[in-house]
Structure 1
Amino acid sequence: MLLVKKKAVALLAYLLLGAGALLAQEKKTELSVEKIMRDPKWMGTSPSNIFWSEDGKKIYFSWNPDSNKADSLYSVAADGRNIRKVSPQERRSLPSPEGAYNRAETKKVYEKNGDIYLYDIKAGKPQQITNTVERESSPSFSHSGQKVVYIKDNNLYAWSIGSGQTVQLTDFRKGRKAPAEGKDAQRDWLKQQQLALLQIVRDREAEKEAQKKQEKLDNPNRPKEIYIEEKAVSSINLSPDERFISYQLVNRPKNAKVAIVPNYVTSSGYTEDINTRTKVGDAQETYATYIYDTQRDTAFAVSMKEVEGIYEQPDYLKEKTAKASAAKDTADSKTKKPEARATVIYGPYWSDNGRQAVVVARSQDNKDRWILKLDPATGKLTLLDRQRDEAWINGPGIGYGPGDIGWMPDNERIWFQSEESGYSHLYTVDVRSGQKKALTNGKFEVSEVRMSDDKKHWYFIANKTHPGEQHFYRMPLNGGEMVQLTALPGAQEVTLSPDEKTLAIRSSTSNRPWELYVIDNKPRAKPKQVTQSLTDEFKAYDWREPEVITFKAQDGAEVYARVYRPEKPENNGPAVVFVHGAGYLQNAHKWWSSYFREYMFHNFLADQGYTVLDIDYRGSAGYGRDVRTGIYRFMGGKDLSDHIDGAKLLVEKYNVDPSRIGIYGGSYGGFITLMAMFTEPDVFAAGAALRSVTDWAHYNHGYTANILNIPQTDSTAYAKSSPIYYAEGLKGALLICHGMVDTNVHFQDVVRLTQRLIELGKDNWELAVYPVESHGFTEPASWTDEYKRIFRLFEENLKKAPKTKS
């Protein structure tokens, strides 16, 4: 009897284990394209837009745990307790999280709904300063803290906190000022003739002049009329002593041609045109910085003509000039005086004591960035730091504008970020001696730098432990040990409390979306999870944590990638290579990807037996200057060869059949897919190119000119980098998908490529169009249709392809 019971128990255990295995198997195979591509709310909605209350007692954030049509505002106590939805009344009464503080940080000024508000932090009460139909914007405090300065109708105004009086500080006017006497001989002659002949004219002129003098006596503080012709005015800035007002005039070219995108699906029933942008190399805006000296009642331009390097041309132009000179008869040629390169000046940025100012200047070819000391009385510029890159200037904390910059507490040094070492790090420079010091260094990048309120420490994000991990650090103000404050895996987005004792953190891993945590501001303190955002349906699937690997590229560079593997990989099985978009973006990391649909699709592909490789190719973010600029003058060069090397890795390490490898991606990823299918046709059997650039000469100026210069001066770079020139190389099966109202990569791109493929007699391709989609799809039906086509492409060309004999 005992033996029978043991057998029964064993049988039951076996059945339970078998059932468990079946359930696990069912769990692994429950994904479908239709499920993945639904409205993302099926997964749960992560918290976002995190900010602290001004008194530091609450954390506010956007959230949607009930899957409503839109997110709502929630709050939670600073200790992570008492989470609740904020009422509409409380939400409307909150000060904007954006704004400016006075130097004592007792008051805050901000814009809300086009009006200006002053918030007393201790009292917790807002005071509305303006209530107008026009929009007031960009509020800040004067250096004394006694006034609120803001912009209205492109002019600068100051409101006195004590008296409530509003004063207009600038008077910018469109058009040209009438020429003064002696400037136009013909008009001067006519005027003098009228005055000589007619008494009434003499009387009225005298009366007019008397009125002008009286108006000036009655209103001695009226600002100077500054005529700006047809230019736009921006970046208006008041000096701490309120003597100088700096401003920028923007000259918008009249001959620039703006591309039109037709919108076919409209409520009117008519096709409607969407104005988008110019194409690379077209006429661009030019900028000039001026200073208005209110004491001398005069305005003058700040000139870059004496700054080191302003006449220095990029190397690619020097090479072109040298070749042209060599081809000419040098005896007849005349030396042409070089022109100063066009620049944009940002700032000024004033020291806390209000005595010194610096500006940042960027050349419009983006090869140079200068940090310069400014004398506001004369406009004289003194060089403090110059960063030159023959490719282009960028990187964390640098960007395409002024970058992060500020003054040290001693009012003698400024801090900034630079890629001088090959990685973006934190530096200081003394504005008197010019002595520069690196505060951080190493083969990692720092970003989101801020100084502590007590001016004793830095806080910043760094990927020091691994390029695919981001942690929050504290460091002494003059450099020293970097203390890691966060310990959660993946990436951390940190918002410090007003008293800097608590961190509100948005954290995620590669297989779990973002959640909100709170921790004490201590090294590796234990975090408390505030939100639980994921739905049961999302958690029911065992999402893979892709392995982050490295491999050597053919030129010896180390390349990072994510790998998704089937549970039981097939011998000589199929594989797919995914190419992320944006170029300068990181995706082979350990946090939740912005490509979350693609992440889920890769899990689905792995369930179907595919090995998936997701590469941070040359041009990607997170790895320093050399990786960032590895595509200069040749997109489709090292960025593509990294994918060829990745395909080789799949064959050699992951037992993939070389004849069964596909490739796909969107935007820049679509461009690489086309280059791969056209120029490496024996490597990839099938490819899906989504919202792809097909010809860089038709893309925008801001992005493209940095990497390829401009078509009329560097046409070779464009020809080398544009897929449309290589279309005759297509062998494998190609799927092209594009939104018809794409205002970024225009539908025209694929229309031109389509015509090229037709003329070449290619028949192994198809085009799927999406009439209501722009660059980033929004409709679940469009996502579903697109990815069903991608999956079918791979199933028909990779699953059914003849296997290589092992």
Structure 2
Amino acid sequence: MTSKHIIYACIITLGFSSWVSSKETSKETIDTKTAVKPIELKKIMSDPKWISNSPQNAYWLAGSNEIVFQQNKEVGELKDTFKLNINNLETEQVKLTNLYQVKQDDLVFSPNSELAAYVYENDIYLLHMTGENKLVQLTKTSARESSPQFIGDRVLSYWAGNTIFAIDLNTNLTSELIKLQMSEAPKEPSVPDDIIAKEQHELIDYVVNQHKNSLEKFNHKKLVKQNDNRVTNSSVYLGSGQRFVQGSLSPKGDRMLVVTSKSVPWRDESDLMPNYIAHNGRIQFDQVRPRVADAKPNQQNYWLIDVKSKQVDKLSIDVLPDFDKDVLKSVRIENFREKGEKYKSKREPRTINLMSDWTWSQSPIQWHNNGEQVAVMLEAWDNKDRWIATVDLEDKKFVTQHQLHDDAWINYTFNDFGWFNHSETLYFQSEQSGYSHIYTKALSSNKIKQITAGKYETSKVKLTKNDKTFYFRANVNHPGDYQIYRVSAYDKKVKNPIAITQLKGDNNYSLSPDETKLLITHSNLLTPEELYLTNADGSTDMVRLTNTVSDEFNNMPWTKPEIIEVDSSYTDQPVYAKVYYPADYKAGEKRKAVIFNHGAGYLQNSHYGWSGYFREFMFHSMLAQQGYVVMDMDYRASKGYGRDWRTAIYRQMGTPEIQDLKDGVNWLVENANVDRERIGTYGGSYGGFMTFMAMFNEPELFKAGAALRPVSDWAHYNDGYTSNILNRPEDDMIAYRKSSPIYFAEGLKNPLLINAPMVDNNVFFVDVVRLVQRMIELELENFETAIYPVEPHGFKQPSSWLDEYRRIYKLFETNL
């Protein structure tokens, strides 16, 4: 079956070029008298370097007077590095031999701010902030050194493997502070406890003497390590069968919090993906992530370690509220009932681990800078609870400071948290009000204080060194307009935040080390990201630092989409959407239309910034130029609209979203002069899944659809994403059957195009293979499959992008 589809995909490509070329520039859809340059697929699907060379990965250098950023090289995938002086706005390229001087994107400062440290190519560098800003390389080894941290002003620690080293900056002596051993501690030599061994020691003096010598050597070595501080005595033994997860050293260097788990394989031997176009001409099998259906809980262990004495105490999770609650009781009852069985609920410990940091750069372990308090963010494996707990360092136990519960799932974003610098007060984000907001809690109080409030989402929270101000990013004025704000950290009542930026679009920021300036990354609907500069207090206008968009791109006749509100038939909130209107769209016959479904599920695309879907933006402009109306909806589950919008799809993926698409179709018919019988839809990844669900479950809604890199069965997707929304198959197969397109394929009526990359390690190619086989067995006729043998989830080759969108374009032109 697969080889037949490969041949078919290759054959139908041959006839595309001439057909599409004539249609792209059709005189029926483009008025040549206006001399408007036609937008062509081959151009917009080519290497995107022609659009702009936007600055990437920008950050401040330690002195707060210079900014470093990267730009793509003209050819290839490598990047050049540039340094920009904010005083004279001069930019210079950093030579390869000087990169070590500017790789300061993750700086740490000494308490007195006179020193800073960072990592470059796995070695540690020290920068003197006073005088001539002398830079010193402290290590030059083949080890992977990381996580520099000051212990006071004159000692710098760093990690190498599972060992922490400390450099005395006065003497330059490097010592091994602590070495974490995932094994049992060496034991004193003893006589084996069996009859033969005992008889051996009774009868043979040589054996007795050898044992005596071993015992003396063991005890001598032990005494030397305990009593001679010049000898390394750093090993801490956490037991065999353990895997190191994370560790964090106190700023005083006297204690550590270490997290381990049982050492089990992350993936199964069957988690393989065939790569048919390998460099050696043979089939290559790549290891890939496991499926949610195969996920197993693995409870982590929490250890409090005294660095000097090497005493180890295990912290128990049984002090956390609801640690043994059966939060899936109602789900399990429903699933057992469907099988004709009865579920009996019981209380038992839940698996509670560190909050995952895969979407979040912050550590879930945060020490106060006084070294006397540490906070940990924990999450339940069932995704229903998040705890922020401190550790009672005397009684060796967790103390809960905040619990966030969600009957659906705890969001994997909006989890910034940390300490005030000058008081034992925590700050954190929480969606408990329905939107992500900032809260504080003093350890001396049981009360939670809310700092921000309203129907908007805060992100990227930063507290100033003097504890007076929070900076953050938020969509206060409109769900799709993101500005940078500041707000007092101490006001007794919630106050409206002060906007620092006013450029409409998408703004992100980086606060300078001296906290006087903000580096802003700004984009809008028609312009990719550029760098701007402003004072941190908002007292000056923003100064533009870069201008990288090409004249060719700026001179193209792009269609600027309008962001509109679609009244929902199912919720109190409107559905926000971008609409691309053709010229004079209300004149003449009713128009054909396309609705685009963005990917990721939890992603926002109807905003005023530059879209990650820039190819789709250009494609939609091309369609609008040819008379189509195009809509791009932020259906329920999309980011930017609060908790309830996000969790509307709990246990029913593909139901609320398709309801929103129905409202979108009605809006187009009623407001944009669209013919209900000439509307198509398409999307990739989650958008491909939505295309399936719409075409299968609402077969009259769209006259044609294209599903790209689509999910067909959620049981085959990853655990981190899927288990949030659908629980896990072992507990909630009802949700998986309700949410997976493969169970509804028989509903297909209108033409469907399925485009699938074969080396996709995100949505596996097998998703399409299994669905196609099911559709063949159902004797369905209205579908075609195109495969892309060398492409991952996000296509790399311009030729693949072009082929894919030619097929999509042909689908719509043929059927709409």
For normalisation by structure 1, the TM-score amounts to 0.90
Partner of 1:369: 386
Alignment equivalent of 2:377, drawn from 360, 375, 378: 360
Q: Which amino acid aligns with 1:514?
A: E
Partner Cα distance (2:500, 2:364) in 1: 33
Q: Which amino acid aligns with 2:207?
A: V
Shift in alpha-carbon separation, 1:103–1:189, aligned structure 2, 3 A: farther
Residue 577 of structure 2 is aligned to residue 561 of structure 1 = yes
Alignment equivalent of 1:596, drawn from 601, 614, 637: 614
Partner of 1:667: 685
Partner of 1:309: 322
Partner Cα distance (2:340, 2:753) in 1: 46
Shift in alpha-carbon separation, 1:734–1:387, aligned structure 2, 3 A: same
Deviation per CA, 1:690-739: give whole Å up to 9, x if none: 00000001111111011000111100000000000001000111000011
Once the two structures are superposed, the pairs formed by residues 46-125 of structure 1 within 5 Å of their partners are 46-64=54-72, 70-79=78-87, 81-122=89-130, 123-125=132-134
Shift in alpha-carbon separation, 1:772–1:208, aligned structure 2, 3 A: same
Q: Which amino acid aligns with 1:702?
A: G
Residue 348 of structure 2 is aligned to residue 338 of structure 1 = yes
Q: Which amino acid aligns with 1:463?
A: N
Deviation at 1:516, TM superposition (A): 1.7
Alignment equivalent of 1:626, drawn from 644, 669, 676: 644
Deviation per CA, 1:722-762: give whole Å up to 9, x if none: 00000100011100001110011010110001101111111
Alignment equivalent of 1:543, drawn from 558, 563, 572: 558
Partner Cα distance (1:724, 1:614) in 2: 25
Partner Cα distance (1:254, 1:89) in 2: 40
Shift in alpha-carbon separation, 1:493–1:80, aligned structure 2, 3 A: farther
- Contact 1:114 1:134 (8 Å CA) reproduced: yes
Alignment equivalent of 1:135, drawn from 144, 161, 180: 144
Partner of 2:292: 280
Secondary structure of the residue aligned to 1:169 is strand
Partner Cα distance (1:322, 1:564) in 2: 44
Once the two structures are superposed, the pairs formed by residues 239-254 of structure 1 within 5 Å of their partners are 239-254=250-265
Alignment equivalent of 2:710, drawn from 666, 672, 692: 692
Shift in alpha-carbon separation, 1:24–1:473, aligned structure 2, 3 A: farther
Partner of 1:223: 234
Aligned residue-pair number: 766
Q: Which moved more, 1:555-564 or 1:707-716?
A: 555-564
Q: Which amino acid aligns with 1:649?
A: W
Q: Which moved more, 1:735-744 or 1:526-535?
A: 526-535
Partner of 1:787: 805
Deviation at 1:24, TM superposition (A): 8.1
Residue 176 of structure 2 is aligned to residue 158 of structure 1 = no
- Contact 2:39 2:557 (8 Å CA) reproduced: no
Secondary structure of the residue aligned to 2:156 is strand
Shift in alpha-carbon separation, 1:520–1:243, aligned structure 2, 3 A: closer
- Contact 2:114 2:129 (8 Å CA) reproduced: yes
Deviation at 1:86, TM superposition (A): 2.7
Shift in alpha-carbon separation, 1:325–1:592, aligned structure 2, 3 A: closer
Deviation at 1:193, TM superposition (A): 3.1
- Contact 2:326 2:346 (8 Å CA) reproduced: no
- Contact 1:517 1:527 (8 Å CA) reproduced: yes
Deviation at 1:126, TM superposition (A): 1.9
Secondary structure of the residue aligned to 2:293 is coil
Partner of 1:5: none
Residue 518 of structure 2 is aligned to residue 507 of structure 1 = no
- Contact 1:47 1:63 (8 Å CA) reproduced: yes
Deviation per CA, 1:163-206: give whole Å up to 9, x if none: 22222233333444577799xx9745554333222211111111
Q: Which amino acid aligns with 1:537?
A: E
Secondary structure of the residue aligned to 1:689 is strand
Q: Which moved more, 1:631-640 or 1:789-798?
A: 631-640
Deviation per CA, 1:288-335: give whole Å up to 9, x if none: 1112234553322211112111111224556518966998799xx8x8
Deviation per CA, 1:246-297: give whole Å up to 9, x if none: 2111324349525211111112111000000111032254421112234553
Q: Give structure 2 stretches of 5+ with no counterpart.
A: 1-29, 356-362
Deviation at 1:239, TM superposition (A): 2.4
Residue 759 of structure 2 is aligned to residue 749 of structure 1 = no
Shift in alpha-carbon separation, 1:306–1:758, aligned structure 2, 3 A: same
Partner of 1:416: 428
Secondary structure of the residue aligned to 2:615 is helix
Shift in alpha-carbon separation, 1:320–1:430, aligned structure 2, 3 A: same
Deviation at 1:615, TM superposition (A): 0.4
- Contact 1:288 1:344 (8 Å CA) reproduced: no
Deviation at 1:349, TM superposition (A): 2.3
- Contact 1:78 1:502 (8 Å CA) reproduced: no
- Contact 1:252 1:285 (8 Å CA) reproduced: no
Partner of 1:211: 217
Partner Cα distance (1:729, 1:22) in 2: 40
Deviation at 1:347, TM superposition (A): 5.0
Q: Which amino acid aligns with 2:613?
A: Y
Deviation at 1:139, TM superposition (A): 1.5
Alignment equivalent of 2:459, drawn from 430, 435, 447: 447
Partner of 1:384: 401
Deviation at 1:673, TM superposition (A): 0.4
- Contact 1:395 1:625 (8 Å CA) reproduced: no
Partner of 1:518: 533
Q: Give structure 1 stretches of 5+ with no counterpart.
A: 1-20, 399-403, 799-806
Partner of 1:39: 47
Shift in alpha-carbon separation, 1:307–1:131, aligned structure 2, 3 A: same
Partner of 1:259: 271
Q: Which moved more, 1:59-68 or 1:432-441?
A: 59-68
Once the two structures are superposed, the pairs formed by residues 618-657 of structure 1 within 5 Å of their partners are 618-657=636-675
Q: Which moved more, 1:726-735 or 1:500-509?
A: 500-509
Deviation per CA, 1:351-398: give whole Å up to 9, x if none: 222222222211111211111121134321122110001111116432
- Contact 1:691 1:738 (8 Å CA) reproduced: yes
Partner Cα distance (1:574, 1:696) in 2: 32
- Contact 2:459 2:474 (8 Å CA) reproduced: yes
Deviation at 1:547, TM superposition (A): 0.6
For normalisation by structure 2, the TM-score amounts to 0.89
Q: Which moved more, 1:371-380 or 1:467-476?
A: 371-380
Deviation per CA, 1:119-141: give whole Å up to 9, x if none: 11223222222111121112211
Shift in alpha-carbon separation, 1:561–1:88, aligned structure 2, 3 A: same
- Contact 2:506 2:522 (8 Å CA) reproduced: yes
Partner of 2:360: none
Give the % identical residues: 37
Shift in alpha-carbon separation, 1:131–1:566, aligned structure 2, 3 A: same
Deviation at 1:337, TM superposition (A): 5.0
Partner of 2:245: 234
Secondary structure of the residue aligned to 2:734 is helix
Deviation per CA, 1:143-165: give whole Å up to 9, x if none: x2332222113222222212222
Deviation at 1:65, TM superposition (A): 8.6
Secondary structure of the residue aligned to 1:170 is strand
Once the two structures are superposed, the pairs formed by residues 767-786 of structure 1 within 5 Å of their partners are 767-786=785-804
Q: Which amino acid aligns with 1:301?
A: K
Deviation per CA, 1:189-234: give whole Å up to 9, x if none: 5543332222111111111121122222322251244154232213
Q: Which amino acid aligns with 2:611?
A: S
Partner Cα distance (2:662, 2:502) in 1: 36
Partner Cα distance (1:339, 1:456) in 2: 40
Alignment equivalent of 2:303, drawn from 269, 290, 293: 290
Alignment equivalent of 1:496, drawn from 499, 511, 527: 511
Q: Which moved more, 1:148-157 or 1:255-264?
A: 255-264
Partner Cα distance (2:331, 2:693) in 1: 29
Q: Which amino acid aligns with 1:671?
A: F
Shift in alpha-carbon separation, 1:674–1:322, aligned structure 2, 3 A: closer
Q: Aligned Cα RMSD in Å? A: 2.5
Q: Which moved more, 1:493-502 or 1:714-723?
A: 493-502
Secondary structure of the residue aligned to 2:725 is helix
